[in-house]
Amino acid sequence: MEENMKLATVEDTVEYRLFLISDELRDPEKHREILQNYIEKIMTQFAPMLVPYIWQNQPFNLKYKPGKGGVPAHMFGMTKFGDNIEDEWFIVYIVKQITKEFPELVARIEDNDGEFLLIEAADFLPKWLDPDNSANRVFFHHGELCIIPAPKHPGEISWLPTAPPTMLQALNIISTHPEKILASESIRAAVNKRIKGYPEKIKASLHQAHCFLPAGIVAVLKQRPRLVAAGVQAFYLRDPIDLRACRIFKTFLPETRVMTSVTFTKCLYAQLVQQRFVPDRRSGYKLPPPSHPQYRAHELGMKLAHGFEILCSKCSPHFSDSKKSLVTTSPLWAGFLESLKKNDYFKGLIEGSAQYQERLEMAKNYFQLSINQPESSLAVSPGEEILTLLHTVSYDMEELKKEAANLPPEDDDQWLDLSPDQLDQLLQEAAGKKEPEPVSKGREENYDLTQVSESMKAFISKVSSHKGAELPREPSEAPITFDADLFLNYFDKILGSKPHESDSDDPDEEDSECLDSDDDLEIETQEPGEEASVKGTLDDLKSYMAQMDQELAHTSIGKSFTTQKQMEPLSRTTSNNSDEEDSGAGGSVMTPVDVDLNLVSNILESYSSQAGLAGPASNLLQSMGVQLPDNADHRPTSKPTKD
């Protein structure tokens, strides 16, 4: 039964749409022709970046999409980026650059989470903007992020709709008022920071590693370097049924293995390295001892060979040859190839040479996946593509062995073994925060834990609503104002704990500003006949609370809290001790709970139980700007029990 269970994965996808702003596109057929020409121009102009890029699952692609339901005809693309989030942000960079190179185009992009660009800039968004009203507001235009604003009052600005705009309304606003919809500098900076470094960043995301691979895979990867992603994914997502095909290898025999250099993305390399796997003894793939200097190359090659064997086992070796000629028979191919030549894609290579043919094959593959978009029933699977290459590409074992003797050095993979400090630093940089100052040993000894309780009080005092609380992001923010006397006066007025007194010295305007609750206003404006009813309700509430206190007094729940009386012997001050002890001598008097001490001790206990990992205590404290030192005391976190 377990062999029939397939590993379920949720593949993250990003969708992007490019609209042409023009009043002349009344004829649908003419509109289609113009958009098809734009697709060819875009894919050709950005081919030098897109052709050699190794995608996790699917490449960047564009196709014509007719108008439907108030959305005009446009260029549409969708990419499954899976575990490699960098693919998504590379697409953001490409879309941004497209609108910069073609100012007449407007782009919209979103993923499974919706408006992920707004999520990235969440700390800088205006208060009015939330998921409920963000539809059709976020676009790229002229290479800049734009957000269509909402009017504060209905009809305040004639060209702004009161409700979220339709797509046609949004495109009209962008074309007529482009200078008034530019996102704030802080929002644009947050998004630009995420895509900073492209296209140079593409090279930094790659990892060169030596692999001991069957010669057939070496030949395939020379022609289709991107197929390494399909091989890694097949191994990474394998199931017991897939491994049946790897008990005895039929396509990639282990005795044909040679050493070669393979280009991975860092995500693919990490997926391959981090999985522990022991091959079936019948497969013929044996590994040297871990102490062997080339153990890692043998292990990587073994895993990748399993992935390629799985891919080939899922298709028949006699699949239809009609799928192989889809590229050259497409009416778009001739124009696309001519555009590549004009843009110097072949770098002056002689037509027919080995390097020219290699780049031509990459261009065909790129065209098939990104532009031609064949029907799913005719799409070539990675396994079929591999088998086709094995039948059409010839290779010389002796030549491959000579190349193995002169391989370029591997890239250092120390980035896989980050220390906790380095990981914290990366997380801080990703969150847009400055690197935290290291806590010295002396500072650890003198660490003031009152900062924890003070930060928590500041957090409680912050304004919140049904949508959540606002965390104080940095300690350097403006101090939080809280009028304790005014708050207590309102509280006393509700509970009736004191005789009726004047509200406070503050003016009425300040009172209404500090307390916006309708209930409080109703209490202040009670008619004399209603005051008795309200007082009776409050008396009932106080009686219920007193009854609850009596019931809890007979339980052990109070022992779980640290009280002020218990802490007195620990303090070295003796002043006023006798008075406090006398007040607590009677068993009927409940000793006040030390709220601050209980708060700090419970948070520290939660923080210690995280064992250095992320958790609620560290996340909450770091959100409030509190950095706790490392826990050097490894005592158990549970409280001792009495015999």
Q: Which of 153, 179, 195 is the last residue of a domain?
A: 195
Judge whether residue 362 has pLDDT over 50: yes
> What does the alpha-carbon distance between residue 81 and residue 66 come to, in Å, rounded to a whole number?
25
> What does the alpha-carbon distance between residue 59 and residue 91 come to, in Å, rounded to a whole number?
9
Select, from the ranges 47-56, 98-107, 385-394, the one with the highest average predicted confidence (pLDDT): 98-107
Taking a C-beta distance cutoff of 8 angstroms, is the pair 160, 151 a contact?
Answer: yes
* 78 and 171 housed in the same domain: yes
Judge whether residue 559 has pLDDT over 80: no
End-to-end CA distance of the chain: 50
| pTM confidence score | 0.67
Angle of CA points 118, 120, 121, to nearest 5°: 65
Judge whether residue 506 has pLDDT over 90: no
* 150 and 278 housed in the same domain: no
Kindly state the tokens that stand for 359. Answer: 């780049």
Kindly state the tokens that stand for 452. Answer: 């924890």
Flag whether 216 is in a domain: yes
Tell me the per-residue pLDDT of 407-436, one tens digit each, with 9 for 90 and over: 999 999 988 887 667 767 766 666 555 544
pLDDT, position 611:
58
DSSP result, 195-212: TTTTTTHHHHTEEEEEEE
* 147 and 59 housed in the same domain: yes
Flag whether 539 is in a domain: no
* 190 and 295 housed in the same domain: no
> What does the alpha-carbon distance between residue 594 and residue 609 come to, in Å, rounded to a whole number?
23
* 293 and 367 housed in the same domain: no
Q: Which of 284, 312, 340 is the last residue of a domain?
A: 312
Tell me the per-residue pLDDT of 216-231, one tens digit each, with 9 for 90 and over: 999 999 989 999 999 9
* 26 and 139 housed in the same domain: yes
> What does the alpha-carbon distance between residue 386 and residue 223 come to, in Å, rounded to a whole number?
10
Flag whether 641 is in a domain: no
Flag whether 415 is in a domain: no
Q: How far is CA 431 from CA 426, 622, 628, in A?
A: 9, 11, 18
* 132 and 217 housed in the same domain: no
* 178 and 46 housed in the same domain: yes
Query: Which residue has 């894919």 as its token pair?
Result: 43
Predicted confidence band of residue 514 (pLDDT cuts 50, 70, 90) = very low
Flag whether 516 is in a domain: no
Q: Where are the alpha helices (DSSP H) in 368-517?
A: 382-392, 397-404, 420-430, 441-445, 450-461, 484-495, 508-514
Cα 241 → chain centroid: 32
SS3 assignment, position 147: strand
Burial of 543 (0-12, 13-18, 19+ CB in 10 A): exposed
Select, from the ranges 80-94, 518-532, 546-560, the one with the highest average predicted confidence (pLDDT): 80-94
pLDDT, position 548:
83
* 101 and 177 housed in the same domain: yes
* 156 and 54 housed in the same domain: yes
* 27 and 175 housed in the same domain: yes
Flag whether 531 is in a domain: no
Flag whether 401 is in a domain: no
Judge whether residue 437 has pLDDT over 90: no
Flag whether 234 is in a domain: yes
Taking a C-beta distance cutoff of 8 angstroms, is the pair 59, 46 a contact?
Answer: no
* 187 and 203 housed in the same domain: no
Query: What are the b/e assignments for 33-44, b being 16+ CB within 10 Å?
Result: ebbbebbbebbb
Kindly state the tokens that stand for 339. Answer: 């555009």
Domains in the chain: how many in total? 4
**What's the whole-number average pLDDT of the chain?**
78
pLDDT, position 3:
37
Candidates 444, 449, 459; CA nearest to 600 is: 449
Domain residues for 231?
Answer: 198-312
User: Which residues pair with residue 146 across a beta bridge?
Assistant: 139, 182
Judge whether residue 504 has pLDDT over 50: no
Which range among 19-28, 70-79, 214-223 shows the weakest confidence by mean pLDDT?
19-28
> What does the alpha-carbon distance between residue 148 and residue 146 come to, in Å, rounded to a whole number?
7
> What does the alpha-carbon distance between residue 629 and residue 615 come to, in Å, rounded to a whole number?
15
Taking a C-beta distance cutoff of 8 angstroms, is the pair 367, 333 a contact?
Answer: yes
Q: Which of 393, 412, 435 is the last residue of a domain?
A: 393
Candidates 268, 250, 225; CA nearest to 306 is: 250
Tell me the per-residue pLDDT of 560-605, one tens digit each, with 9 for 90 and over: 777 766 555 545 444 454 444 444 444 445 567 777 777 778 888 8
Judge whether residue 260 has pLDDT over 90: yes
Kindly state the tokens that stand for 184. Answer: 């704030």
